[in-house]
Structure 1
Amino acid sequence: MSVAPGWYLDPADPGTRRYWDGEGWLGAPIPAEATPPAGPPPPEPEPTTRPDEPEPDPATRPGEPKSAPATRPGEPGPTTGRAGAVGQHAPVGAGTPSPGYGPPPGAPYPGTAGGPPPGAPYPTWPGQQPEPRPHGLPLAGLGARLVARLIDITVVLALNVVVNFWFVWQYIQQMSPPITEAWRRIVDQDTTTEQLPAAGDQAGSLQIAILLIATALWMAYEVPSTASRGQTFGKRVMGLQVLPVSAVAPLGFGRALRRWNLLGLPTLGWFCCIGFLLQLIDSLSPLFDRPLRQALHDKRAQTVVVQLPRTPVPNDRPAPPGDTS
């Protein structure tokens, strides 16, 4: 709201009056008890400056002090502290005034222990975020984890060849009639619409038995070794280890079983391909997880896969005679 032009008490010096022209103070002040003229004060002559004198500040008008801020009538003016400088405000209970309203430059804000003021955004790390090191160890690389898993799959497959061979052979015999007839039609380009011969009566039960045995062999291979050492054979070869996120300790059977369940139990659904799809999603999940590169089964068990330091093999062989290097 603008104030009408007129003579008003100067907020900076209540003992004087000055003329307010609607935008700022005009002319020199007069005593507060003096009768002000009817209009604005007459313009004062421009002061003449000698060559050796500095030019007047264009931001101030003739006759008014440079330190007097342009405050509107009725607004509180600047107070003069003990030091006598305009704009210094003495805090309540303090003997010495401090400039400005906030703490001195470089001082921490009250109650923040040197940090940013309440409500301010937390400072972010410039550039790329550093890679986390759980328990002081680097995260396992995705390539190393893939190679370790392929080694484990090869070991489990070899166990299945030994244990599951008879069941697989019997299953092939039960499925032979429809497979043989379908292949004959493809080779002979037979377009008959007759149904294929039915599979043997034991094909379904043999399929369930094969999947149960394969799942049990996988669990017996992976869960106990992961529970005690955090390593399968493939992880030992690649120098990897599974650790809890919370502490450096063995996983224990319960946590190792929870970790394996999400990846191993879908093997029972291979007959309809749903189980294989779930395992594929779980295996690819570390590609998109940040920052710990956890697979879905790692998140369920709160575990992380780390790369163990490679200790150099000491060279204890004696040096050949005459070799002092």
Structure 2
Amino acid sequence: MTKTDGVQPGWHRDPAEPDTQRFWDGEQWVGEPLPIDAETPAGPLLARPVPPPPPMPLPGEAGLPRPGAGPVPEQHVPQPGQLGPGPGHPGPGWALPPGMRLIPPPPRPHGLALATAGARFTARLIDISAVFVLALVANSWFLYLFFDAVGPWFRDFMHWSGAGQHGEPPAVPDSAQFLPFYMVLVLMAVWGAYEVPGIAGTGQTLGKRLMQIRVVRLDTTDNVGFGRSLRRWLNMSLPCLMWIACCGLGVLFQVFDALGAVTNRPYQQCVHDRAVQTVVVAAGEVTTEEGERT
């Protein structure tokens, strides 16, 4: 199974945890997971409520010594985040003490660990530097036209300012007002040509390859694909159009997008990843639905 769309209700391998199986009701995963080779019931395995802990016995009851009768036998105290019982587990009625909570392990999509925020940040810096150099070369003609138009205006403006003249300052040439917008469009085109094919095929750009991380689909082990990669990039790049028109407001949208790598749970997805259901993981072999490695 590579997709959940159109899958008949029943027990299937969980795409996010290939070693387990869960019940698909036709719209979503329900109930508790089971090991992949476990025998499955007819319907979903619903979680059983944890019974309340038994009342604490008083000294002298249930075999506890009375005060002064000797040391109390050492009891096992569960630590915060402990998932299973340890030595001295009191039995089926055991529950976490008040104030403690279970901390589930981080998810492993297709058996791979999530990429760290540091690796993702470093990879993005490498990619930004590479795109900047390529865009600088692609924009060389527009840069020449821009400085050729702005140079005389700048000299007139400095003369007007230094002479203390009154009235309107020299007007900015029309070409100098539109050329920055054209340069942003060229930058976006270079970025798209750099980012989209790599993510579509291998899930990696230059930065991600150097940091040994990759982008994978959350629902299947197939490649990200060109269409999904293009939509992912558009969610990152479209705010660039607001760099000039909206006084840099687009940068705030892109910063908010990137913060998802450290604030989103459980998959640490940026906005552009959540939009197309992709996730960034440590590079390695991906477990397919048939148990093969790719």
Q: How does 1:237-256 map to 2 (within 5 A)?
A: 237-256=210-229
In structure 2, C-alpha distance between the alignment counterparts of 1:161 and 1:169, rounded to whole Å: 11
Equivalent residue for 1:232, pick from 180, 191, 205: 205
- Residue aligning to 2:79: none
RMSD: 3.0
Q: Does 1:134 align with 2:109?
A: yes
Question: Which string of whole-angstrom CA distances, capped at 9 and with x for unpartnered residues, describes residues 155-204 of structure 1?
Answer: 11111121111101211222334444555677x5x665533211223223
- Relative CO higher for 1 or 2, CA cutoff 8 Å, sep ≥ 6? 2
- Residue aligning to 2:48: 116
Equivalent residue for 2:256, pick from 265, 275, 281: 281
Question: Which string of whole-angstrom CA distances, capped at 9 and with x for unpartnered residues, describes residues 283-303 of structure 1?
Answer: 223221111110000000100
Distance 1:184 1:137, change over 3 A: farther
Unaligned runs of 5+ in 2: 1-42, 53-94, 286-294
- Residue aligning to 2:149: 174
Structure 1 residue 133: Cα displacement: 1.1
Distance 1:132 1:181, change over 3 A: farther
Asked if the contact 2:153–2:173 (Cα under 8 Å) also holds between the matched residues in 1, the reply is no
Q: SS where residue 259 of structure 2 aligns?
A: helix
- Residue aligning to 1:203: 176
In structure 1, C-alpha distance between the alignment counterparts of 2:217 and 2:232, rounded to whole Å: 11
Structure number with larger C-alpha Rg: 1
TM-score (norm 2): 0.59
Question: Which string of whole-angstrom CA distances, capped at 9 and with x for unpartnered residues, describes residues 191-222 of structure 1?
Answer: 65533211223223322321111111100110
- Residue aligning to 1:317: none
- Given residue 273 of structure 2, which amino acid in structure 1 is its aligned partner? D
In structure 2, C-alpha distance between the alignment counterparts of 1:244 and 1:112, rounded to whole Å: 26
Structure 1 residue 126: Cα displacement: 4.4
In structure 1, C-alpha distance between the alignment counterparts of 2:44 and 2:259, rounded to whole Å: 43
Asked if the contact 1:177–1:197 (Cα under 8 Å) also holds between the matched residues in 2, the reply is no
Equivalent residue for 2:133, pick from 158, 164, 171: 158
In structure 1, C-alpha distance between the alignment counterparts of 2:191 and 2:116, rounded to whole Å: 23
Q: Does 1:268 align with 2:200?
A: no
TM-score (norm 1): 0.54
Q: SS where residue 222 of structure 2 aligns?
A: coil
Equivalent residue for 2:269, pick from 282, 294, 312: 294
- Residue aligning to 2:281: 306
Asked if the contact 2:157–2:170 (Cα under 8 Å) also holds between the matched residues in 1, the reply is no
Aligned pair count? 196
Unaligned runs of 5+ in 1: 1-110, 311-325
Identity fraction in percent: 39
Structure 1 residue 142: Cα displacement: 0.7
Distance 1:180 1:293, change over 3 A: farther
